[in-house]
Amino acid sequence: MKPQLKQRTQFSLVYLIIAFIVLLMVQSWLLAPRAVEIPMSRFLQLLREDKVEKVSLTDKEIRGVLKPGALLPPAAGPGERVRQLLGSEGGPAVFTTTRIPGVEDSALVKELEQHRVEFSGKIETTLLRDLIFGWILPLGVMVGIWLFLMRRMGGGATQALSFGRSKAKIYDRKELKTTFADVAGVDEAKAELVEVVDFLRNPKKYQRLGGRIPKGVLLVGPPGTGKTLLARAVAGEADVPFFFMSGSEFVEMFVGVGAARVRDLFEQAKEKAPCIIFIDELDAIGKTRAGAVGFVGGHDEREQTLNQLLAEMDGFDSSKGVIIMAATNRPEVLDAALLRAGRFDRQVVVDKPDINGREAILKIHARNVTLAPGVELRLIAARTPGFAGADLANIVNEAALLAARKGKDAVESADLEEAIDRVIAGLEKKSRVLSEKERDIVAHHEMGHALVAASVEHADPVHKVSIIPRGIAALGMTYQRPVEDRYLLTRSELEDRIAVMLGGRVAEEIVYGEVSTGAHNDLDRATEVARLMVTRYGMSERLGPLTFGNDQRGQFLRGAGLPVERDYSEETARVIDEEVRAIVERSLARVRGILGGKKAILLRGADELKTRETLEGDPLRRLLAGELEAVKEEVR
């Protein structure tokens, strides 16, 4: 019998027994004769009128039965009269009366003998009744209410009583169909994990030479790069059970529950060895036990859970075939005890893929999608620098949905291009109606970006310009297609990027003589790049090759909503602000010179953009190159 079915059967039997006991109690109460409470004086009156057939004497009361046909005196209340009538028609009338304290029974016994009434004595015990109604019944009601509330909260009665049980999802060999063939773009990470797979398949190969496989493997990388997928692929390749649990599932409101779940998880894993334990989002329980920077203390439940995890990792032997894998995108906040040798002693970086990796990932996700002939996934990979595997999967899925919505039989390149735009900038908002003046401003703004990008040396080529509103606040977009993946940027390249960001604002200045609020995002990004040049990259002549501020600490505290403590003086802060301003102002002057000499192209391009709403391909390239007549002829 399955465990779940066995538990359900046990609880059904419990409910059946409780229902049977309650039914017996209700039945005995309904079938018992209805006794009417009368005063002692009325009892004596009925006795002297020879209407009493028999009585039972106890320490506290007298219970009697009237002779057939005898009725209670008319002085009885309305409720007693009803009971009496029921007794005369359906059975003998039963009455009770409370005895007078301190009065002896001798006189009453003589009177009962005189009227030939059958009487007996009874020692009354109320232990069972007091036990049932005073303890069992109230406790049963309370337990029933508690079980009902726990079931409504989603745990059920069985889970409510098992806080310390592990919540890990266990995938056996038949359920794990993911292999390294389903993972692309992380070739270095796969190569690192091949050794783990080989050990799980053939542990004697390493034990023969005295080698010891690492106890823990920590996968580090940005969100969406495929850390969980890679762990499942390791289990699938090794053909071993896979225990999956998120770090947040260990921590509960009650202190000690997380530690109990850690113990239970390792006990289950040892029983199913060889296997893999995978803890996703390890930073949920593995943060440094010193708390946040500048503060002392922490979360007691999380710290106890972490302590138990460290103890369990020290207490088991990896030669038994239990490998612990974990994933995090915040390795800087992990406790140092987790990363020392003998615990998570191997760290595997799962980074965002390059163009070859993106193309391989797109091919994997396109296997179940019908692609039209001529679709080049290499071009799509080139348009998506910095995209993680999850982003690329989303693009393929969005393109399939768009093609199905349009009634196509296959996914075309245009669908993939539109899917990229949707992922980058959001959905089109054609229902957002702009006034004619606003459309004019947006058109000149976007053409300013495009013209500057086409004029500077180090900017990526402009792929498309659009004034169709997208997302929450984007009224237009200028799309650039990188020629190659870049991992290093020079000062001139950063300055060119700032110039492209400021192109929209300068275009508004030249055409309208004033600026709008549409450039606020451009100014944010330009200021951020300029500040990084000064504080992180040492590209300021006044400040020299120094860095200012702690990146990790700033990121950690910024996420907590706390102010960042500066490690430089007020005078240095003033110089930093002056240098950032100087970089941005030099770029503004440079962009004014570029667009001032191409005002005719700017105006013509804005007119074309207002007419078509989107410019791309050859018309856009000719327009940016200044071939205005060729563009006019193409429009005709």
Sheet holding 462-466, edge to edge: 477-480, 462-466, 614-616
- Pick from 328, 406, 398, 337: nearest CA to 369: 398
Q: Contacts by 403-408 with C-beta closer than 8 Å and gap 24+? A: 408/372
Integer Cα distance of 470 and 489 in angstroms: 30
The amino acid present at 586, given as its one-letter code, is R
Answer for the pair 465, 609: CB distance below 8 angstroms, yes or no.
yes
Integer Cα distance of 24 and 301 in angstroms: 48
Answer for the pair 357, 230: CB distance below 8 angstroms, yes or no.
no
Integer Cα distance of 333 and 329 in angstroms: 10
Active site residues: 446
520-535 and 570-596 helices, crossing angle to 10°: 130
Which residue in the block uniquely carries the two structure tokens 């078509």?
612
3-state secondary structure of 53: strand
Q: What are phi and psi of 480, to 5 degrees?
A: -115, 140
Q: Give Rg (Cα) of the chain.
A: 42
CB neighbour class for 610 (10 Å; exposed up to 12, middle 13-18, buried from 19)? middle
Q: Which two tokens stand for residue 243?
A: 């225990």
Q: Which two tokens stand for residue 102?
A: 């301190």
Answer for the pair 290, 296: CB distance below 8 angstroms, yes or no.
yes
Q: Which sign, positive or negative, has the C-alpha torsion 494, 495, 497, 501?
A: positive
- Pick from 281, 175, 174: nearest CA to 228: 281
Integer Cα distance of 446 and 442 in angstroms: 6
Answer for the pair 52, 63: CB distance below 8 angstroms, yes or no.
no
3-state secondary structure of 54: strand
Answer for the pair 520, 605: CB distance below 8 angstroms, yes or no.
no
**DSSP character for 342?**
T
Integer Cα distance of 508 and 281 in angstroms: 46
Q: What are phi and psi of 368, to 5 degrees?
A: -100, 10
- Pick from 300, 235, 303, 313: nearest CA to 270: 313
Using left for φ > 0, alpha for ψ between -120 and 50, and beta otherwise, residue 156 falls in left
Question: How many Cα neighbours within 13 Å face the side chain of 250?
Answer: 33
